């Protein structure tokens, strides 16, 4: 007998653990450590992201004491280039910090997803290893029990069958098929051929262009239609046809259809729509937008610099549409009665929602771009203007934006042009599908696009001015950008063009003129005014309104030539509406109607 056998026989009850026997125990310990490490990792990432969010909110660039002091200093010395340079430097620093925060949030989100995945996998594996299997016990039952159970089953099946027969018979005699009963209903369901009554109720494009139905006019380009013989005379009051108080605050612009002028306003407590007579300025009606289905019980926190009523309304000549920063969307008939209302979700935007509504015969377009971006955050929506029914909705892989969409006819298609960080995107008007996109947007996107000389002209606040041919498909960044200018681009106002020249106005008062063919800068002039109202084209003149109440006329020409300037006792941040020889301007206190009294 060997020594090994002797030891084995002397210890017959000993249990020797092999490596295979120890493996499950080691695996459990390893999984436990993985679980704790993953939980700790998720906690650290979450804490870091929360800290980043709170610290970013406390470091609001618009409340920077340094920036506010520099702006005040610039107001006292508007020609001080050193102050302007420092403001631009701070502005660039704030934008870079914002973009960096977006990148950190995205990275943190992916890290958190990975950590949670590891946490769940480890936890699930541990639960499976430690779970005790169910061990069924034998049940001894008398034979009569099984006979009774079989009889009950047969009666149960018979009863259910009888109920099914009765239900199907009732449906056969009472239910109406949801399928279309006629070809006309099928066409209407598919949106191919609306009935004659609906067609008759839709305004024509000619009616649209004869009015001012949305922000910057029917095409969203800020160009007045028709013949204009506009001039200003002194005193300033001689140019005022009427003015009416605006009882609610808001930065949206007036819209005009026929003899009606519409505005919106309000705050967290009360949001309203106002309707004025376009000829006399009389306030015809004022309606509160309330009890909207789906509206949040607690209103979101919106900065005062934007407010609840920044988006401009829209009208199709039958109804007036309004949207507020809490996501309430409503339509009013011209007599002040409500047509429909709904809430489309509270926009998540650090400055509040400001994109204006776009309208086209039969359809209302809402651009809802948000901080969270896509998927699920930013989106473009189309509603039936008569009923408020959602026609289509498209997700957008972009971040936040305050620009407004325009609708153009180009390349044989009706296109919706949208701007947001970091893409200019064209969507099909018919179904919302993306047609083309260009990666040119940088900074905080507030200026809206314009369409001139067959090109989409775009101001990208931190990149410059661009012109894009709208006949491309897919990513057209390298193929369809006709020209790009690196001159300073506006950060609030939108460009305007007369088809030959493009004009931009910077917030601090610089007015720039470009050749629309090649983007060449023709001239730049310092107005020494704060400009937040987008410039407009009126006949052969450029119309500008300042934050201090100045209204200017400048020749839309290749050389700078200011032809008139008046000063009104108000502050203008909204853009004008231009209809039938009249200028409608919303100030912070009054709605103004300007024109030549001797011109009908």
**pLDDT of the chain along its 600 residues, tens only?**
444 444 444 444 444 444 444 455 555 567 677 777 877 877 887 787 777 776 665 555 556 777 777 777 766 776 677 877 777 777 777 767 766 777 777 787 788 788 778 777 877 777 777 766 666 666 555 566 667 777 777 787 777 878 777 766 766 665 555 555 444 444 455 554 444 444 457 888 889 989 999 999 999 999 999 888 889 998 999 999 999 999 999 999 999 999 999 999 999 999 999 999 999 999 999 999 999 999 998 999 988 889 999 999 999 999 999 999 999 999 999 999 999 999 999 988 888 999 999 999 899 999 999 876 655 589 999 999 999 999 999 999 898 899 999 999 999 999 999 999 899 999 999 999 999 999 999 999 999 999 999 999 999 999 999 999 999 999 999 999 999 999 999 999 999 999 999 999 999 999 999 999 999 999 999 999 999 999 999 999 999 999 999 999 999 999 999 999 999 999 999 999 999 999 999 999 999 999 985 554
The answer to whether the CB of 250 falls within 8 A of the CB of 589 is: no
For the record, the structure tokens of 581 come out as 């020889």
321 vs 329: CA distance, rounded Å: 7
**206-594 is classed in which CATH architecture?**
7 Propeller (2.130)
18 vs 436: CA distance, rounded Å: 66
For the record, the structure tokens of 458 come out as 């775009």
Half-sphere exposure of 111 (CA within 13 A, CB side): 17
Q: Per-domain residue ranges for the chain?
A: 32-67+117-126, 206-594
Q: Which of 344, 348, 399 is nearest to 373 (CA)?
A: 399
340 vs 383: CA distance, rounded Å: 11
CA distances from 15 to 11, 12, 496 (A): 9, 9, 90
CA distances from 576 to 37, 247, 253, 556, 569 (A): 60, 19, 7, 17, 16
Q: Which of 161, 157, 181 is nearest to 169 (CA)?
A: 161
The answer to whether the CB of 314 falls within 8 A of the CB of 356 is: yes
Phi, psi values for residue 358, rounded to 5°? -115, 145
329 vs 21: CA distance, rounded Å: 67
For the record, the structure tokens of 79 come out as 């020609």
Q: Which of 424, 275, 221, 444 is nearest to 352 (CA)?
A: 444
For the record, the structure tokens of 326 come out as 């809490």
Helices (DSSP H) in 202-271: which residue ranges? Answer: 205-210
């Amino acid at each position: 007998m060997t020594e090994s056998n002797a030891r084995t026989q002397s210890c017959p009850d000993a249990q020797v653990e092999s490596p295979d026997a120890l493996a499950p125990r080691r695996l459990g310990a390893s999984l436990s450590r993985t679980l704790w490490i993953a939980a700790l990792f998720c906690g650290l990432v979450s804490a870091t992201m929360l800290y980043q969010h709170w610290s970013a909110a406390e470091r609001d660039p618009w409340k920077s004491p340094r920036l506010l002091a520099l702006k005040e200093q610039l107001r006292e010395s508007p020609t001080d280039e050193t102050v302007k340079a420092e403001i631009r430097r701070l502005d660039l620093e704030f934008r870079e910090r914002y973009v960096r925060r977006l990148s950190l949030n995205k990275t943190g989100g992916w890290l958190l997803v990975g950590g949670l995945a590891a946490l769940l996998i480890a936890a699930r594996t541990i639960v499976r290893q430690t779970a005790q299997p169910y061990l069924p016990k034998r049940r001894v039952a008398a034979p009569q029990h099984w006979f009774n159970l079989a009889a009950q089953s047969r009666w149960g099946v018979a009863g259910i069958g009888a109920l099914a027969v009765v239900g199907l018979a009732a449906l056969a005699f009472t239910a109406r098929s949801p399928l279309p009963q006629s070809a006309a209903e099928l066409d209407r369901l598919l949106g191919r051929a609306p009935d004659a009554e609906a067609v008759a109720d839709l305004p024509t494009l000619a009616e649209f262009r004869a009015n001012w139905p949305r922000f910057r006019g029917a095409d969203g380009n800020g160009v007045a239609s028709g013949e204009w013989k506009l001039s200003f005379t002194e005193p300033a009051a001689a140019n005022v046809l009427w003015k009416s108080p605006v009882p609610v605050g808001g930065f949206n612009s007036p819209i005009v259809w026929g003899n009606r002028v519409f505005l919106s306003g309000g705050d967290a407590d009360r949001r309203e729509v106002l309707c004025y007579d376009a000829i006399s300025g009389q306030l015809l009606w004022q309606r509160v937008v309330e009890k909207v289905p789906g509206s949040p019980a607690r209103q979101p926190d919106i900065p005062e610099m934007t407010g609840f009523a920044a988006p401009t309304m829209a009208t199709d000549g039958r109804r007036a549409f309004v949207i507020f920063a809490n996501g309430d969307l409503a339509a009013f008939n011209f007599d002040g009665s409500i047509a429909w209302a709904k809430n489309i979700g509270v926009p998540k935007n650090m400055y509040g929602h400001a994109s204006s509504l776009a309208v086209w015969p039969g359809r209302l377009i809402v651009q809802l771009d948000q901080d969270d971006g896509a998927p699920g955050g930013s989106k473009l929506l189309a509603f039936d203007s008569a009923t408020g029914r959602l026609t289509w909705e498209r997700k957008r892989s972009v971040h936040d934006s305050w620009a407004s969409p325009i609708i153009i006819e180009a390349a044989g298609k009706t296109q919706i042009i949208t701007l947001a960080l970091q893409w200019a995107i064209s969507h099909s008007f018919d179904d919302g599908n993306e047609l083309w996109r260009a990666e040119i947007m940088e900074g905080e996107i507030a200026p809206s696009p314009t369409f001139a000389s067959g090109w989409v002209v775009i101001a990208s606040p931190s990149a410059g001015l661009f012109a894009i041919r709208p006949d491309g498909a897919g990513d057209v960044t390298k193929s369809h950008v006709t020209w790009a200018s690196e001159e300073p681009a506006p950060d609030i106002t939108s460009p305007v063009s007369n088809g030959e020249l493009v004009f931009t106005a910077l917030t601090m008062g610089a007015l720039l003129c470009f050749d629309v063919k090649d983007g060449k800068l023709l001239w730049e002039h310092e107005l020494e005014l704060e400009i937040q109202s987008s410039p407009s084209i009126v006949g052969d003149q450029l119309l500008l309104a300042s934050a201090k109440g100045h209204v200017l006329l400048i020749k839309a020409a290749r050389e700078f030539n200011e032809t008139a300037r008046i000063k009104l006792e108000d502050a203008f941040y909204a853009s004008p509406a231009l209809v039938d020889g009249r200028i409608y301007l919303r100030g912070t206190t009054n709605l103004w109607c300007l024109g030549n009294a001797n011109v009908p």
